[in-house]
Amino acid sequence: MLTLTPGATTLAQLENLWREGVPARLDPAARAGVDAAAAAVKRAANGNEAVYGVNTGFGKLASVKIAPGDTATLQRNLILSHCCGVGEPLEPATTRLMMALKLLSLGRGASGVRWEVIALIEAMLERGVIPVVPVQGSVGASGDLAPLAHMTAAMIGAGEAFYQGQRMSGAAALAAAGLAPVVLGPKEGLGLINGTQFSTALALVGLFEGWRNLLNALVTSCMSTDAIMGSTAPLEGEIHALRGHRGQIEVAQAMRDLMAGSVIRESHRDDDARVQDPYCIRCQPQVAGAAMDLLRFAATTLEVEANAVTDNPLVVAAGIISGGNFHAEPVAFAADIIALALAETGAIAQRRVALMVDPTLSHDLPPFLTPDPGLNSGYMIAEVTTAALMSENKHLANPCSTDSTPTSANQEDHVSMAAHAARRLGRMNANLSVILGVEALCAAQGIDFRAPLETSPRLQAAMASLRAKAPGLESDRYLAPEIEAASALIRDGSLLRAAALELAL
């Protein structure tokens, strides 16, 4: 059981929850603040003063006063009317992360929901009741309204949920898990659907997968360097210290360590007619290091957002105040930054693949890395696949945060587009894992051609994990399954574990 501390939960804890599926609950110390805010909302609901979302309509209908006896109906209607999401369901692991983020937000004691609501989310996480949440429908302002409404619908016994791998009605899923639906009190529906938890969960997943891809790129780039018998002189620490960027310094150090002991490298230190390698080899620390710095910058923003209160109105010392914390601009910016890092990591990796299959640049490797070129095409079209995915990622990396469109009768006249800014990161990371998988295949093939010279012990271990899935290419064969297997080694971290590479986000 993972205990979440509102305001102080770390990215490492959230990644563990997402990857491992561990149940989560709020620190019980949060209850006093939650109860106090709920009491404040209850008093407002019974009072005569109009308080947005407590005893009024929503959005453009905020001027419509609701009678105290209708507040429960108001909240239920809010949820049902906002269940307008479309598209495929969000992956259950990401939905669980979204639910945990909602716990963190509610646990700050400013939303005014009862502890009963929090307890139901905790129980759903523990017992595996995962709401069906369509991935399209949020513009990332006034909260991720439609996605979070679908989450909440399952909590009130409407909508749909997954339970033990089966998709069923929300009511049936709760009953099968021994849980009862909650009847929403004043402001509770609004507190559940206002917020950035959908966008933030997707951005966090993009960050976690992106960091793993970036570290894999360090391994594959080192393999490629040995495959073309490239120089490690550009990795010298003093060069990078003179520039001073943290990521660049760490990447150069990691690459030096990965290549330590390479016989291939030692074989051409002297009498090599080449003066400089192409940029895709020589400038790897500069590019990967810059991407690393961007991911860390985004991580800082997303860790803050994961612990933030982002619904509306909020219960604060001055009363119940309407504000704009639901606007997901920080998440949109973070997602756009992650997208840039992913696109550039794939772009330079693709150039390394192109380098290895080109006999004019690969330092005596055979064309397309096949022993019998002409009769065989080798990795010719695998390189084309990487070019296609690289180009697709470049298009996907165009910013989403610069877009906006007014909604809700111009009440919500500037929006962040954070939801699809974050959602496209999944597609980009999938593309990048394939590019890196193909690079690993090509680099291993190139290293094999350098026999009896050997690469470093750590890169040999990485090659062994790859060769268990894809043997050396002696003649043409059906390659699609091997490309998928290689990209799976990238995605699940197997190549990193074999190379013993760890760098903290």
Give tens-digit pLDDT for 348-379. 999 999 999 999 999 999 999 999 999 999 99
Residue 361 sits at the vertex; the CA angle it makes with 357 and 367, to the nearest 5 degrees, is: 35
CB 356, CB 446: distance < 8 Å: yes
Q: Which of 52, 163, 279, 379 is catalytic?
A: 52
Write out the two tokens for 87: 């598209």
pLDDT of residue 30 exceeding 80, the answer is yes
- Give mean pLDDT, residues 214-223: 98
- As beta bridge partners, residue 65 has 56
Q: Which of 38-47, 368-377, 390-399, 405-414 shows the lowest mean pLDDT across its residues?
A: 405-414
CB 248, CB 284: distance < 8 Å: no
pTM, full prediction:
0.96
pLDDT band at 62 (very low <50, low <70, confident <90, very high): low
pLDDT of residue 58 exceeding 80, the answer is no
pLDDT score for 60: 64
Question: Is 52 among the catalytic positions?
Answer: yes
CB 498, CB 461: distance < 8 Å: yes
pLDDT score for 68: 76
pLDDT band at 382 (very low <50, low <70, confident <90, very high): very high
Measured in residues, the chain has a length of 505
pLDDT score for 275: 72
Write out the two tokens for 348: 């330079």
pLDDT of residue 12 exceeding 80, the answer is yes
pLDDT band at 407 (very low <50, low <70, confident <90, very high): confident
pLDDT score for 59: 66
pLDDT band at 111 (very low <50, low <70, confident <90, very high): very high
Write out the two tokens for 14: 């959230």
For the chain, what is the mean pLDDT?
95
- Give mean pLDDT, residues 469-485: 97
